[in-house]
Structure 1
Amino acid sequence: MVWAASAVVLLSTVNAPSASASPVELYNQAQGSFKEGETDDGLRNLDELLKAAPTDADALALQAIWADFARDEKVKARALSELDKVAPDKVAGVEHVLEAIADAAATPPNPFPSLLEPTTAIVVLGFGLLPDGALRPELVSRLQTASLQAFAAPDSPIIVTGGNPQNGITEAEAMQNWLEEHGIPSSRIHAEKKANSTVQNALFSTEIIDSIGADSAVLVTSANHVRRATADFTIAGTEVVAAMATVSGILGQLPPLDKEQQLGMYTDATRVFGLPATR
């Protein structure tokens, strides 16, 4: 019994914020905890940070977002109230983030193409290439799905997004080559070659969407990825009018996601929103 009590005290000490930690350290500890799914620890770190720096807008925004994940309406409301005093424009941004996550989490993946206006871009998200630069089967499935959407909307531009080069070729270049080999004119295709994550897919593709005069997008990705991608692009500023998923694994992805399954969506959302992972 003595050993058990000692273990509890030790664990509490490990998880508790350091009394001497600076706001920067507390912020970084909080972000590390959130990434690992240790939401309570992360929120405790933010509580300590905000005692020392109560007008820290990023910390308040982060607290509101993760309190929503933790279903702590009281902490979320308090954080938004304090944020409204120091950065009122950011409150609307946080609310947009939470709305985007909730909508995406509740929307099932769709394997069918949509009829699109010419100003709606088709965005195909990349997937890691093989070491020799060849396409993995999952990426081929995404491209086959994108081809169906492209033929259903022949006037829509196509954006292929993905960096992560293998054997001197990026995901975007490999995708563009495949689409051209399967009958898609090169004039329709815009390659985004820098993104190394879904967050960057959203941010960098949104820049291209704006630059080519498109006003919305349909996303094409895997069934287990479509909700996170939809939330990321929405938060980045793209109006996502549809999201088309590959057929593989789609049945298991049809039910709405519960909060625990949304961890990656919340983590991504804070990055797209511009809250730094570390200071």
Structure 2
Amino acid sequence: MGAMLAAGMAALLSCNTSGSSNTKTAEQDSVPNAIHLFNGKDMNDWTAKIRHYESGDNYANTFRVEDGLLKVRYDGGYDEFDQQYGHLAYNTPFSYYYLRIEYRFVDEQTKGGESWAWRNSGAMLHGQDPKTMLKDQDFPISVEGQLLGGDGQTERTTSNLCTPGTNVVIDQKLFTPHCINSTSKTYHGDQWVTADFLVLGDSLIQHILEDQVVLSYSKPQIGGDNVLSYDAKQKQDGKALTGGYIYLQSESHPVDFRKVDLYDLSEYKDRPADIERIVKQIQQKKP
């Protein structure tokens, strides 16, 4: 486990000693079963929200399941991408969890996509309810684990952080810029990449690649800019984000997802030592 993960968990342990009991039980050896948010068959448990369309309208079959993969494609009616950003929300909100996503970028960017959106997708965490997004809203108010691919030559980190309508705390200071890069290596080509996220309410969020923490922050909260055409009632600046919806993103480049698994840690909320143990055991389950 990376040093940053250990440090983050140590901070939680220092604030809550309820998980440090010397009494060991069978329950303390257990690991929650993975919830397969993507079941490999359909999107019945998901809701699409594409800019300029109502929540639930999967315009142009942008999100689809084929060959056991959840795919993002633009061959069903995108003559121009035209900033029609899309998001696919899992219908159940979560607060404390470990999320594992396996993704890859394929093919060519669709016509009209911005240059920054080349091989660009994301996992939106603590997102607003998709039913509360307005028709012309571009991004859900959320914290984004940005997923990026390399061009074969240039270094380009992945599992970065972007903040549409939110702010976070990094190094004990409120971070208000829109994005910050992680410390990850670059993943070039069409290879599958496994991106993990440890999300503990508003106390700690970590982006993890190959068992190493590449970005860590806390206190996600509503605030700032970088989201358009939203319902003002949904943007209460300063409100702590302790949970919310998980989204997968469409930003003009085709992308495949073959695994979206979640380990619910809510019952261990007051037992940080158990969370640390469970995270280690999950990371031993290699894809």
- Same structural fold, with TM-score higher than 0.5 when normalized by the shorter chain: no
- Highest Rg: 1 or 2? 1
Q: Please give the TM-score of this superposition, normalised by the length of structure 1.
A: 0.30
Which has the bigger relative contact order, CA under 8 A and spacing at least 6? 2
Greater share of residues in strand:
2
Point out the structure with the larger helix share: 1
With structure 2 as the length reference, what TM-score do the two structures score? Answer: 0.30
